[in-house]
Amino acid sequence: AGFANVTHRVPMMSIEKVTTIEGLADWEKGLARILPGTSFSYVCEPKVDGVACSLRYERGVLVLAATRGDGVRGDDITANARTVRNVPLKLREGKVPVPEVLEVRGEVYFERADFEKLNQEREAAGEDLFQNARNTAAGTLKQLDPALVATRKLKFVSYGAGETKGFLVETVAAFVSSCRELGLPTNPLSTRVAGIEGVVEYVKDFEERRKTLAYETDGVVVKVDDRSLHAELGTTAKAPRWMAAFKYEAEKAVSRLLSVSYQVGRTGAVTPVANLEPVRLAGTTVKRASLHNFEEVARKDIREGDWVLVEKAGEIIPYVLESLKEKRTGKEKKIAAPERCPECDSPLERRKEGEVIIRCPSYECPEKVKGLAIALASRRAMDIEGLGPKLVDQLYEEELIETIADIFTLDKKRDRLLGLERMGEKSADSLLSQIEAAKTRPLDRVLVALGIPHVGETIAAAVAQRYSSLEEIGKASAEDLQAKGLGQVVSENIALWFSDKRNKELVARLRAAGLKPSVKPAAPSSGKLTGKTFVVTGTLPKRSREDVKDLIVGAGGKVTDSVSKNTSYLVAGEKAGSKLERAQALNVPVISEGELEKMLGIE
């Protein structure tokens, strides 16, 4: 939303992935089958982990920048790209004449240090931390405010061409050096090698080297150097044959699991976290790693004192893959799920029999209250600007809030609010007016804010279309909810949450504190997708899965989480896994995002 569409004159295709040395050799054999007797030279370069972007220069002037989108159409992000510091607004006239048209494709990314610094600043400002550099780069390019983009230190590196006029280069290596001559950033590690042996050497050599680079890379892109061969080699349905991406395995390290801490989330979920003997992994020192949940710990038989294998694949928090049983001494201790909340000592519960997650049910549990408050204030929920983790901590420590309902009566404690560190009259009043405005946010936002397990934006929107107040939803049984066309699991979940006395109390307190959600006009009772049930999976070309779900629900369709014989369609994107297999096994039609758009008439 907010960006004009751009149709790429030359589509931005995908790239064939290879994960083994044999895979590289097989790739070359495939090339030799098409062009027997050819001796191939290649250009190898780091596969920079960021987002693809296309820059169009006309007579040397940057006139358009676009995201990849689905490869055919992307978003016009020219204003944002202009703020990326090493993107030239004008090409340099020199040895290489400025071409009439040059579309340069490349990657927009963060250097590790810049990303870390950004997170440090966010932490200091009490804002949520970003999970990984790649998604943050993607998110930044889609910001509507170029001034904000300019504050983030994004970088660009060129790696390929789209449409060109008056730009004659015969090899990939010449393309790279010409770009460099024209003042475009290129990768100094881009190297021409002879034969697949040369590629293998580069790939092996780069495996360690890449860890010392300023940016993240997870592989090497290999391209046939002679551009005249590109057309001859042609493309498969998805990707050009003359190019392959070698991807390294995620980095792993071995360490000792010293102890286990318990983390309490905003839904009260208590999850185990491993405290490790500090170990270097993918450029950082790792001391903590996720253990997912207690069932997994039991299934993998991971024990305190074990030597464990830790993996990090792009995310900031690594996770424990497995324990090395052969290294046991017999002194290791089994890890038990706690019976009481590590934060507030309330007895923990499973909401339903057989459920994996154990939760703290208390609304006075400090960690839960803080987590709920932060989530409640977030943009996706009630959007209270300025109420981030830091302030929530302060409010809690100073006993200005004991439950999330207290947020809405902070206006009565203005004096004490002013007593907080770094809280002036102006920021206090701005916060209070934000809170006042939040009291009448739409019902679906409020539903998201409550932290009902499994109720995200899509489901909240679907519920809010069918009911006009929290009280009404609270009175509905699972059957009532289902009768209104909500899925079975969703219906049971919501009824279960509202049937809990403590949740009823919370809703009553919120109401007493002045929360009065607004109601959108009722949705059309029949839309283009009424009566159809969808499952959405994989990485979709244009929209996030959540956005696609919203589209479906908005058109009267139902969205569920798992594929069954009742599923009308599976909307599948890239990397669709088990859901795709299941859909195929059950003969459930599989459609793309584009086909869904056609159904909706929004092509």
* Catalytic site residue from 29, 47, 579, 598: 47
Dihedral sign (CA 300, 304, 308, 314)? positive
What does the alpha-carbon distance between residue 115 and residue 255 come to, in Å, rounded to a whole number? Answer: 26
Q: Which residue has the tokens 């092996």?
A: 204
* Shorter beta-carbon distance to ligand IVH: residue 186 or 271: 186
Q: Report the residue closest to ligand IVH, judged by CB.
A: 52
Nearest approach, Cβ of residue 8 and ligand IVH (Å): 11
* Shorter beta-carbon distance to ligand IVH: residue 48 or 555: 48
| Candidate residues 43, 52, 62, 384; the one interacting with ligand IVH per rule CB under 6 A | 52
By the rule CB under 6 A, 245 interacts with ligand IVH: yes
- Asked whether the beta carbons of 314 and 352 are under 8 A apart, the reply is no
* Shorter beta-carbon distance to ligand IVH: residue 221 or 463: 221
* Shorter beta-carbon distance to ligand IVH: residue 137 or 470: 137
By the rule CB under 6 A, 189 interacts with ligand IVH: no
Residue 259 parent element (H or E): strand 251-264
What does the alpha-carbon distance between residue 576 and residue 558 come to, in Å, rounded to a whole number? Answer: 20
Task: Name the amino acid, one letter, at 234.
Answer: G
Residue 23 parent element (H or E): helix 21-34
* Interface of this chain with ligand IVH, residues 213 to 232, rule: CB under 6 A: 221
Nearest approach, Cβ of residue 243 and ligand IVH (Å): 6
Stretch that binds ligand IVH, among 9-17, 255-263, 385-393, 404-412 (CB under 6 A): 9-17
Question: In 164-213, where does DSSP find H-type helix?
Answer: 172-181, 195-209
What does the alpha-carbon distance between residue 556 and residue 277 come to, in Å, rounded to a whole number? Answer: 52
By the rule CB under 6 A, 87 interacts with ligand IVH: no
Stretch that binds ligand IVH, among 8-16, 281-289, 415-423, 436-444 (CB under 6 A): 8-16
Q: Alpha-carbon Rg of the chain, whole angstroms?
A: 27
334 forms bridges with which residues in the sheet?
303
* Cα–Cα nearest to 10, from 76, 108, 82, 104: 104
* Interface of this chain with ligand IVH, residues 467 to 486, rule: CB under 6 A: none
Cα-based angle 69, 70, 76 (whole degrees, multiple of 5): 25
By the rule CB under 6 A, 332 interacts with ligand IVH: no
* Pairing of the two strands 533-537 and 569-572: parallel
* Interface of this chain with ligand IVH, residues 378 to 417, rule: CB under 6 A: none
Stretch that binds ligand IVH, among 10-18, 72-80, 175-183, 257-265 (CB under 6 A): 10-18
Neighbours of 423 (CB within 10 A): 16
What does the alpha-carbon distance between residue 471 and residue 486 come to, in Å, rounded to a whole number? Answer: 18
How many residues touch ligand IVH under the rule CB under 6 A: the total is 13
Question: In 210-264, where does DSSP find H-type helix?
Answer: 228-233
Nearest approach, Cβ of residue 184 and ligand IVH (Å): 13
* Shorter beta-carbon distance to ligand IVH: residue 13 or 118: 13
* Interface of this chain with ligand IVH, residues 543 to 602, rule: CB under 6 A: none
Local structure of residue 130 (DSSP, 8 states): P
Nearest approach, Cβ of residue 228 and ligand IVH (Å): 18
Stretch that binds ligand IVH, among 7-15, 255-263, 545-553, 569-577 (CB under 6 A): 7-15
By the rule CB under 6 A, 15 interacts with ligand IVH: yes
Nearest approach, Cβ of residue 138 and ligand IVH (Å): 11
Residue 283, classed as helix, strand or coil, is coil
By the rule CB under 6 A, 160 interacts with ligand IVH: yes
Nearest approach, Cβ of residue 175 and ligand IVH (Å): 11
Site string for ligand IVH, 21-50 (x = CB under 6 A): ------------------------x-xx--
Dihedral sign (CA 250, 256, 258, 260)? positive
What does the alpha-carbon distance between residue 146 and residue 83 come to, in Å, rounded to a whole number? Answer: 7
Nearest approach, Cβ of residue 26 and ligand IVH (Å): 18
Neighbours of 212 (CB within 10 A): 7
* Cα–Cα nearest to 162, from 104, 107, 108: 104
Nearest approach, Cβ of residue 352 and ligand IVH (Å): 41
Sorted by sequence, the CB contacts under 8 Å of residue 450 that are 6+ apart come out as: 497, 503, 506, 507
In the Cβ-directed half-sphere of 505, how many Cα atoms lie within 13 Å?
A: 9
- Asked whether the beta carbons of 369 and 437 are under 8 A apart, the reply is no
By the rule CB under 6 A, 107 interacts with ligand IVH: yes
* Shorter beta-carbon distance to ligand IVH: residue 42 or 159: 159
* Shorter beta-carbon distance to ligand IVH: residue 78 or 158: 158
What does the alpha-carbon distance between residue 74 and residue 71 come to, in Å, rounded to a whole number? Answer: 7
Nearest approach, Cβ of residue 216 and ligand IVH (Å): 10
In the Cβ-directed half-sphere of 416, how many Cα atoms lie within 13 Å?
A: 13
Q: Which residue has the tokens 């940057």?
A: 62
- Asked whether the beta carbons of 548 and 567 are under 8 A apart, the reply is no
* Shorter beta-carbon distance to ligand IVH: residue 15 or 420: 15
Nearest approach, Cβ of residue 248 and ligand IVH (Å): 13
- Asked whether the beta carbons of 281 and 253 are under 8 A apart, the reply is yes
* Cα–Cα nearest to 568, from 603, 544, 542, 595: 595
* Shorter beta-carbon distance to ligand IVH: residue 8 or 370: 8
- Asked whether the beta carbons of 148 and 58 are under 8 A apart, the reply is no
Nearest approach, Cβ of residue 597 and ligand IVH (Å): 22
| Candidate residues 13, 222, 369, 507; the one interacting with ligand IVH per rule CB under 6 A | 13
* Shorter beta-carbon distance to ligand IVH: residue 6 or 257: 6
* Shorter beta-carbon distance to ligand IVH: residue 13 or 449: 13
Can 47 be counted among the known catalytic residues? yes
Torsion angle of alpha carbons 160, 165, 171, 176, nearest 10°?
Answer: -50
What are the catalytic residues? 47
The footprint of ligand IVH (CB under 6 A) covers 12-13, 15, 45, 47-48, 52, 107, 159-160, 221, 243, 245
